Chains A and B, each alone.
Chain A
Amino acid sequence: MSGGRNWTVRLREAGVRAMPPEKLLPDGQPVYMSSWIYLFGVLTIAALVIIIGSGVILGLKGPAWWHYTGIGHFFNSVHLWAVELFFFFMVIHLWGKFFMVAWRGGRARTWMSGAIAFLIAIPCAFTGYISQQNFDAQWIATQAKDGLNSTGIGAFFNVLNFGQMYTYHVLLLPVIVVTLVAAHILLVRRSGIVPPLPLSELGIGEAASEGVAGSAA
């Protein structure tokens, strides 16, 4: 039975057309992927998993918990170091993709979704820093307000309002970050991993390997 007027069927068929299962979860990768730099995307995702996991535990016990119990402080430390690792791996991933010219061949949206995820991760981390309820939070909030107020954002994003900032931190911004990362990964799966730059860039002979991207017709 074709899609016809059945929205469910049409959505399912469009989804399967755009992303067949073998494309969503392939069990092979191009042979040119033989560098450690290719691991930094998945390392960034792994750090995000640890951030969310430790963040969930912090959220379960409420924002004040980690100030007065050793186990709470422990999970707060894991959360903080996971954030440092997240940005560490993400920036190296960005450098790698930049030097691979990874936006070639219709992959501009992959680059853009990744860059936007980075830019949204920054205020996500920022709202975390000001939700700490310690001196660092007081200082960062009273300083950041000047920058945000100057742009008018402070009129509806009050960094001195703990309740608002905590909600942005544990819900609103992580949802956006995770959505962007998911879109980023789906785009990678859709277009495939970008091939190496053509051999002509290096002056390698035109009788190049068949099937490897060479000079365009």
Chain B
Amino acid sequence: MKRKRLSTAELNAAARDYEGPYKPYDLVKELCIAVVVVGALALLLTIFFSSPDEPPSTIAQWAHQLPADFVTTAVSELDGTSDTAQYGPPYNNGPSAQFAWILHPQAWLGVSHPINTAEDYVYEPLASIPGDPPLRAATATYKAASSKNQTTWTTNYTNALAKATVGPGDTLKVATGNYGPVPKMMDALLALAQSGGLDGALLTSSQFYQTDYTKPLLFMADGSLLADRAQAQHLLGGQWGMMNETGSYPGQVWLWLYTFWYQIPPWSTSANGDLLVFLVMGVLSIALVLIPFIPGLRDIPRWLPLYRLIWRDHYREARLAASRPPAGGGGTGGGGGPPEPSGAAAA
């Protein structure tokens, strides 16, 4: 018999109703068995592999392990050159907001979580240090200076920090130079951070209870500590990190396509890469939902007929029925099973 391909409309009409035989089945028992089986699987995996729990980094650890990196980051927060300072909405009006053609959603949604990096990461924490008149004077000197002087001091100090050495007690030794009051401020900030005081100071706000870690996390992300740990664990964006878990645990395999775009140009090289990836994945996600309506895509399973394997019993019986001479009064249903059980939905 020649194969006849039906149109989509004909396929839909043909699939609407099923008048054929049913067999008894127990859905509730099936669900209960499935819960027991999957529960046992989860238990086995837990007993064999457990789960990862790498302790979080703190600013105190950062200041002890990488004091030069900490101070370099703090200086960039002070002079507004850090990633956070340049970020744009939702933190500030910095220049790095991402866009794609006429789409500027990052800018459109505005500054909802204002962060002034110099205030939040330098001035306010330093102001919380009690009884240090030279420190107060240094801070006042810096604030009162012209922006040209400020830039000269911070640029010189940042360059010198690249060659700084770490002394006893994780202190920094920097070559002498024209840095103005910046070293005094940064020594105090480093000491505060190493004592653990900065972790707490960055969490405080006008209210007692806190759950918002935006300020400390942005500060740490501006430095190298988190990124160094991430690189060692293969979690960087360019390492397909979105899919990975710490250690040798399986990660988030379902994110393979999200992370794939970050590996290839133009997404991997563009400053607007994040927005471009989200736009592509947005379109693909909508396409996934709308597959039934997309010609070509919805026809793939007919061209790649795995359904023949899934329904091979049904097709085998249909072939047998078709090859039998018709019984008197017309063919009856092939492979007659038990009569319809009570309660079975007819269609």
Pairwise interchain contact B314-A202, C-beta atoms closer than 8 A: no
Pairwise interchain contact A81-B291, C-beta atoms closer than 8 A: no
Q: Is B27 an interface residue (CB 8 A)?
A: yes
Pairwise interchain contact B310-A99, C-beta atoms closer than 8 A: yes
Q: Taking the nearest CB of chain B, how far is it from the CB of A195, in angstroms?
A: 5
Residues of B within 8 A of A116 (CB): 289
Q: Is B54 an interface residue (CB 8 A)?
A: yes
**Interface segment, one of B120-128, B142-150, B180-188, B213-221:** B213-221
Bound Cα distance from A155 to B89, whole angstroms: 8
Q: Is B15 an interface residue (CB 8 A)?
A: yes
The contact sample of 6 A-B pairs, CB cut-off 8 A, is A26-B27, A34-B313, A100-B307, A103-B292, A106-B15, A164-B212
Q: Is A216 an interface residue (CB 8 A)?
A: yes
**How many of A's residues come within 8 Å of B, CB to CB?**
112
Bound Cα distance from A142 to B110, whole angstroms: 19
Q: Which of B108-123 contact A (CB under 8 A)?
A: 108-110, 112-113
Interface residues of B (CB under 8 A from A): 1-6, 10-28, 30-31, 34-35, 37-39, 41-43, 45-46, 49-57, 87, 89-90, 98, 105-106, 108-110, 112-113, 211-214, 217-218, 220-221, 226, 229-230, 235, 237, 241-242, 245-246, 250, 252-255, 272, 274-275, 277-278, 285, 288-293, 298, 300-302, 304-311, 313-315, 317-319, 321-323, 326, 330-335, 337, 340-345, 347
Q: Taking the nearest CB of chain A, how far is it from the CB of B148, in angstroms?
A: 32
Pairwise interchain contact A30-B301, C-beta atoms closer than 8 A: no
Known: A39-B30, A115-B289, A213-B17. 12 other contacts (CB 8 A): A66-B53, A81-B42, A100-B310, A101-B11, A119-B289, A135-B55, A136-B54, A152-B106, A158-B214, A161-B213, A207-B326, A212-B314
Bound Cα distance from A215 to B14, whole angstroms: 7
Residues of A within 8 A of B332 (CB): 209-210
Mark A173-217 against chain B: 1 for CB-CB distance below 8 A, else 0.
Answer: 000000000000000010011111111111111111111111111
Residues of B within 8 A of A67 (CB): 53
Bound Cα distance from A135 to B54, whole angstroms: 5
Interface residues of A (CB under 8 A from B): 22-23, 25-32, 34-35, 37, 39, 42-43, 45-47, 49-50, 54, 66-67, 73-74, 76-78, 80-82, 84-85, 87, 89, 91, 96, 98-101, 103-108, 111-112, 115-116, 118-119, 122, 125, 129, 132-139, 141-143, 146-147, 149-156, 158, 160-164, 166, 189, 192-217
